């Protein structure tokens, strides 16, 4: 690239990695008007308004998290808006808010935004966000059209919390596909659970449609068979559905759930039930209490503008103060399952699971970058492959064609990683610093919307970008 132009910012002397352009070496990155303007061995200091020395650090296209939580359909003790800063501080530059509400998400962005690009899905919750227990196609079509007008990409089924029948679940996919809306599935129906039994239903539920199967590692916890057997079965299903599914996996051992119990003291949600069963606790309020007291479970609470996990009596007090409707976390994800899913490839060398996500945001487990770097250190992934999983493939998944690479004219979304610790040290979005030394310094954010959501986005005064999902992997070659 030419270096005769003037730059707003130059990232100087970092190890720049961009597999799309076969770049891996020490270079300067020149940024102008929020775009990548040059990758060069050396850019003269007088050619830049601002020079940032990133010597010895890794410079990659910004991490795109295809499964995060910045708003929520649950009444919970955790304010989801804190997730903006928490994601930014982990090195993320773009996120898909999976299963909240776009109106709530953008309110959080205005109040506590930290500079992220965010697209949002609406979680389908009977009698809250959709009017029926097993919504009919006409009801679903109206709900999806409405959420697109309010700035959402589409919807997510919450099978581990608010399951539909298999038939209604299939109707959700069909209705979303008809409108070229995003559709994601935390698997499980009224006939199955949020485990391998639920995943086994999904090919039939998908039919000839397209679907984002959320956090594939969540169904390989050993609830039905041994974890390694479930991993192999899941990989086989992914191969069978290769042209119809997109998938991601997260690398944290901790999950996120909700400890709500009914009037009889029974745990309401299937995910929380599974967490208790995994260690032999009863699926009752007494089981939840014991799990928290023993330190197996944690309650999530806001402290100093961030969400942290606490255990013991403090956790029990938080859960009881919320009348059991509290955000909890359990270490139920086998690391070997997540690592196997993150690294598994087809014979042609492409990855079976498309991306590495966090399923975090407001949950304190935003470790996609540092755990991926650990896989690089271990030799399970190359640095090129790490960037493909963290940035390039997620950009293709979402149809963000100007992100995920450092081609001249691409968006200057950048994540800088400390090569020693494996943690992100700096991030930029559109050439502006949003995180420095592990601390969020950005404000607001950019709302990613569909064409139907332009008016809603414009009314907020926030920057926004219109995305065409025909460019996404979800609707690749869609007829």
DSSP H stretches of helix in 56-165: 83-90, 102-112, 137-149
Q: Once rounded to an integer, what is the mean pLDDT over residues 393-415?
A: 98
Look at strands 298-303 and 257-258 and give their pairing. unpaired
pLDDT tens-digit readout, 58-90: 999 999 999 999 997 665 656 668 999 999 999
d(CA 47, CA 278): 59
Q: Once rounded to an integer, what is the mean pLDDT over residues 229-239?
A: 98
304 sits in the region (left: phi over 0; alpha: psi -120 to 50; else beta) called left
SS3 content of the chain, % helix, strand, coil (to 5): 35, 30, 35
d(CA 334, CA 345): 20
H or E element in which residue 281 lies: none
Q: Contact 456/449 with Cβ under 8 angstroms?
A: yes
Neighbours of 201 (CB within 10 A): 18
pTM above 0.85, yes or no: yes
Give pLDDT, residue 2: 43
H or E element in which residue 196 lies: helix 196-206
Q: Contact 398/125 with Cβ under 8 angstroms?
A: no
3-state secondary structure of 367: coil
The 327-329 sheet, strands edge to edge? 257-258, 327-329, 298-303, 306-310
d(CA 161, CA 128): 13
213 sits in the region (left: phi over 0; alpha: psi -120 to 50; else beta) called beta
- 349's tokens: 């060398």
Q: Once rounded to an integer, what is the mean pLDDT over residues 235-244?
A: 98
Fold of 7-60+410-439: Urease, subunit C; domain 1 (2.30.40)
Q: Once rounded to an integer, what is the mean pLDDT over residues 383-390?
A: 98
Buried b (16+ CB within 10 A) or exposed e, 308-345: ebbbeeebbebbbebebebbbbbbbbbeebbbbbbbbe
Q: Contact 30/10 with Cβ under 8 angstroms?
A: yes
Task: Give the DSSP letter string of 220-234.
Answer: -SSSSS-HHHHHHHH
Q: Once rounded to an integer, what is the mean pLDDT over residues 2-16?
A: 87
Give pLDDT, residue 73: 66
* pLDDT class of 5 with cuts at 50, 70, 90: confident
Q: Which of 5, 48, 52 is nearest to 433 (CA)?
A: 52
pLDDT tens-digit readout, 422-446: 999 999 999 999 999 999 999 999 9
- Helical pair 166-178 and 196-206, crossing angle rounded to 10 deg: 50
Q: Once rounded to an integer, what is the mean pLDDT over residues 234-246?
A: 98
- 33's tokens: 């008007």
Mean of the per-residue pLDDT values of the chain: 96
Give pLDDT, residue 479: 76
In the chain, where are the structural domains located?
Answer: 7-60+410-439, 105-253+333-399+440-479
For the chain, how many helices (H) and strands (E)? 14, 24
Give pLDDT, residue 406: 98
Q: Once rounded to an integer, what is the mean pLDDT over residues 21-38?
A: 98
159 HSE (CA, 13 A, CB side): 32
Give pLDDT, residue 54: 98
pLDDT tens-digit readout, 165-190: 999 999 999 999 999 999 999 999 99
Q: Once rounded to an integer, what is the mean pLDDT over residues 267-287?
A: 97
Q: What class, spelled out in words, does domain 105-253+333-399+440-479 have in CATH? A: alpha beta
Q: Once rounded to an integer, what is the mean pLDDT over residues 415-428?
A: 98
d(CA 393, CA 246): 10
DSSP H stretches of helix in 344-425: 368-378, 383-387, 393-398
280 sits in the region (left: phi over 0; alpha: psi -120 to 50; else beta) called left
3-state secondary structure of 301: strand
d(CA 422, CA 416): 10
d(CA 159, CA 462): 33
- Helical pair 83-90 and 102-112, crossing angle rounded to 10 deg: 70
Give pLDDT, residue 305: 86
Look at strands 464-466 and 444-449 and give their pairing. parallel
How far is residue 436 CA from its own chain's centroid? 22
**1 pLDDT above the threshold of 50:** no
Give pLDDT, residue 160: 94
């Amino acid at each position: 690239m030419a270096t005769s132009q003037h730059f707003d910012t130059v990232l100087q002397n970092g190890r720049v990695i961009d597999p799309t352009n076969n770049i891996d070496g020490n270079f300067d990155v020149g940024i102008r008007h929020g775009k990548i303007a040059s990758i060069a061995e050396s850019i003269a200091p007088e050619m830049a308004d601002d020079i940032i020395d990133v010597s010895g650090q890794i410079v990659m296209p910004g991490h795109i998290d295809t499964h995060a939580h910045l708003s929520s359909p649950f009444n919970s003790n955790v304010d989801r808006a804190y997730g903006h800063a928490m994601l930014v501080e982990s090195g993320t530059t773009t996120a898909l808010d999976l299963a909240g509400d776009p109106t709530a998400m953008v309110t959080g962005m205005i109040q506590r935004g930290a500079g992220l690009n965010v697209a949002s899905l609406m979680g389908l919750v009977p009698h809250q966000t959709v009017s029926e227990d097993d919504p009919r196609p006409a009801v679903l079509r109206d709900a999806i059209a409405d959420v697109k007008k309010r700035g959402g990409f589409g919807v997510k089924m919450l099978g581990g919390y608010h399951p539909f029948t298999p038939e209604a679940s299939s109707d959700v996919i069909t209705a979303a596909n008809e409108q070229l809306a995003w559709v994601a599935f935390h698997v499980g129906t009224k006939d199955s659970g949020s485990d391998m039994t639920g995943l086994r239903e999904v090919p039939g539920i998908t039919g000839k449609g397209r679907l984002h199967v959320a956090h594939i590692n969540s169904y390989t916890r050993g609830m039905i068979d041994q974890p390694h057997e479930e991993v192999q079965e899941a990989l086989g299903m992914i191969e069978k559905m290769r042209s119809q599914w997109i998938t991601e996996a997260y690398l944290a051992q901790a999950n996120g759930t909700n400890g709500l119990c009914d009037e009889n003291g029974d745990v309401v949600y299937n995910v929380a039930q599974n967490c208790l069963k995994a260690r032999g606790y009863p699926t009752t309020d007494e089981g939840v209490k014991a799990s928290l007291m023993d330190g197996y479970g944690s309650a999530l609470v806001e402290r100093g503008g961030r969400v942290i996990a606490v255990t013991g009596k403090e956790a029990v007090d938080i859960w009881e103060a919320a009348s059991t409707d509290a955000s909890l976390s359990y270490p139920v994800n086998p690391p070997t399952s997540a690592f196997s899913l993150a690294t598994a490839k087809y014979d042609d060398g492409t990855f079976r699971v498309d991306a590495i996500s966090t399923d975090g945001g407001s949950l304190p487990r935003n470790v996609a970058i540092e755990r991926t770097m650990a896989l690089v250190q271990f030799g399970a992934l190359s640095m090129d492959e790490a960037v493909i999983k963290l940035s390039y493939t997620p950009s293709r998944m979402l149809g963000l064609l100007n992100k995920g690479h450092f081609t001249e004219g691409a968006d200057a979304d950048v994540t800088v990683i400390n090569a020693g610790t494996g943690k992100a040290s700096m991030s930029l979005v559109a050439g502006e610093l949003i995180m420095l030394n592990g601390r969020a310094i950005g404000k607001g954010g950019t709302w990613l919307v569909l064409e139907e959501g332009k008016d809603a986005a414009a009314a907020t005064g926030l920057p926004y970008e219109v995305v065409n999902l025909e460019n996404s992997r979800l609707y690749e070659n869609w007829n």
